[in-house]
């Protein structure tokens, strides 16, 4: 049987995606952005042509969201996809009426081109492939001599069935689906930025230096950064606040895990699980070494294949429940919204998303300067963090829905105190908010 996918008029949302249409709104957008900075100013005409080309290669993104009797589904979108200039709004609501029904945007400004994606459509792994293909086709149209070198999906390749698959269901194990209850997490509070604008502060480091520092601490980069975040939240939010120590909720960092590194899958849809670091910080003398030890232990436990399958299977089992399956969507939608607002949104203090290392063909590297990953910050998770690396540039980007920047400042001060050089960028949201 051929492994080439035929054009599909419609297909189901993957298991991870089904909750997002119900719980997303103007404040909790569940969108993320990946930006590539090039050496030359963007040519909008060729960028539009490149988008039209890759939508033929990636038909799973040429869709609109439709309401079914029991669940939402994706339907083929025949409307034109239009690129647009980048504005000050970052990771805003993906409003289908403003976007011809599409669930992602391609935006540009000066030398930057970005894809902003609604999480129902894909995760960071899928967007990485889509963005690389877009830039590759754009550079070809600009007359650059670039080659894919098996690192980029091009218009000459046909979509495969595996790119459409819901890999969560594929690796689901009904015997390993135990539900583990969670308590609410500590919340970082502050003064809300007006009009749901987002503050951005990025720190650019050398990849080799942060890798060396992490190895000196016998940790991966993600483990080390999670430990620093936990420590900074403790030092800036909790250590000297005696009034809340007797009733303090745990600090919990949500860290997405790309399951393609643990299970053989080519899916371009959502295939992400998570690890959580968790600590009750109700003592006056918690050390960084103590936090590192706990984080490393929790990462080791969370990354076990049986645990990843358990979390995956717990979600799939919920979807497969016979009573849920026969419940009309309008009732499911109501229940999901209530449950998410009452508890789901409050289970994490913040997110730390490591998109990973972008690998480009050698022929493309002379035209690429920088990459940035950004995730939405909402009304409960007021500060979030995204990481991406390219060659020797390692970029850590904080997004926030509050004015206060104490956590970001102390985080980068901590890294500089360890001997790292950090270049800071900001969108200076205070100037227009």
What CATH architecture is 194-431? 2-Layer Sandwich (3.30)
CA distance 141 to 44: 11
H/E element, 341: helix 329-342
Cβ neighbours around 390 below 10 Å, total: 20
Residues β-bridged to residue 278 = 252
Map tokens 């009452």 to a residue: 342
CATH number of 10-170: 3.30.559.10
Cβ atoms of 376 and 384 closer than 8 Å: yes
Cβ neighbours of residue 226 closer than 8 Å, sequence gap 6 or more: 253, 255, 277, 295, 299, 352
- Residue 238 predicted with pLDDT over 80: yes
Cβ atoms of 295 and 277 closer than 8 Å: yes
Domain ranges of the chain: 10-170, 194-431
* pLDDT tens readout for residues 271-318: 998 999 999 998 888 999 999 999 999 999 999 999 999 988 887 876
- Residue 195 predicted with pLDDT over 90: no
Alpha-carbon 3 to chain mean position: 29
* pLDDT tens readout for residues 12-70: 888 787 778 778 888 889 999 999 999 999 999 999 999 999 999 999 999 998 887 77
Cβ atoms of 153 and 57 closer than 8 Å: yes
Rg (CA), the chain: 21
CB contact burial 176-211 (16+ within 10 A = b; e otherwise)? bbeeeeeebbbbbebeebeebbbbbbbbbbbbebbb
pLDDT at 1: 31
Same fold? 10-170, 194-431: yes
Segment 170-192 mean pLDDT: 87
CA distance 351 to 117: 17
Cβ atoms of 21 and 30 closer than 8 Å: no
- Residue 2 predicted with pLDDT over 50: no
């Amino acid at each position: 049987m051929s492994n080439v996918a035929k054009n599909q008029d419609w297909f189901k949302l993957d298991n991870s995606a089904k909750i997002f249409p119900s719980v997303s709104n103007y404040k909790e957008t569940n969108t993320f952005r990946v930006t590539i900075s090039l050496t030359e100013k963007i040519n909008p005409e060729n960028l539009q042509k490149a988008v039209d080309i890759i939508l033929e290669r990636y038909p799973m993104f040429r869709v609109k969201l439709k309401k079914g009797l029991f669940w939402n589904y994706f339907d083929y979108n025949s409307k034109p996809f239009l690129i647009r200039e980048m504005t000050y709004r970052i990771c805003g609501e993906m409003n289908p009426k403003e976007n011809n029904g599409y669930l992602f945007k391609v935006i540009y400004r000066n030398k930057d081109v970005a894809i902003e994606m609604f999480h129902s459509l894909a995760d960071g792994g899928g967007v990485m492939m889509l963005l690389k293909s877009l830039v590759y086709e754009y550079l070809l149209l600009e007359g650059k001599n670039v080659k894919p070198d098996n690192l980029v999906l091009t218009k000459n390749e046909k979509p495969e069935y595996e790119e459409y698959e819901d890999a969560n269901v594929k690796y689901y194990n009904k015997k390993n689906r135990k539900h583990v209850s969670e308590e609410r997490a500590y919340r970082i509070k502050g003064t809300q930025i007006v009009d749901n604008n987002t503050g951005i502060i990025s720190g650019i480091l050398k990849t080799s230096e942060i890798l060396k520092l992490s190895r000196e601490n016998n940790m991966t980069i993600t483990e080390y950064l999670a430990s620093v975040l936990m420590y900074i939240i403790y030092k800036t939010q909790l250590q000297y606040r005696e009034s809340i120590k007797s009733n303090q909720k745990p600090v919990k960092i949500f860290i997405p895990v790309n399951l393609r590194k643990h299970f053989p899958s080519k899916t371009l849809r959502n295939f992400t699980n998570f690890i959580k670091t968790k600590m009750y910080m109700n003592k006056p003398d918690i050390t960084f070494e103590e936090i590192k030890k706990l984080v490393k232990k929790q990462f080791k436990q969370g990354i076990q294949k049986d645990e990843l399958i358990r979390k995956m299977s717990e979600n799939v089992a919920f979807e497969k429940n016979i009573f849920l399956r026969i419940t009309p969507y309008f009732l499911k939608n109501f229940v999901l919204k209530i449950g998410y607002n009452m508890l789901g949104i409050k289970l994490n203090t913040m997110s730390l998303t490591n998109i990973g290392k972008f690998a480009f063909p050698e022929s493309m590297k002379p035209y690429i300067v920088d990459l940035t990953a950004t995730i939405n910050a909402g009304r409960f998770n007021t500060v979030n963090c995204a990481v991406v690396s390219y060659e020797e540039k390692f970029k850590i980007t904080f997004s926030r829905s509050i004015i206060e920047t104490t956590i970001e400042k102390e985080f980068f001060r901590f890294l500089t105190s360890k001997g790292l050089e950090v270049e800071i960028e900001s969108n200076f949201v205070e100037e227009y908010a």
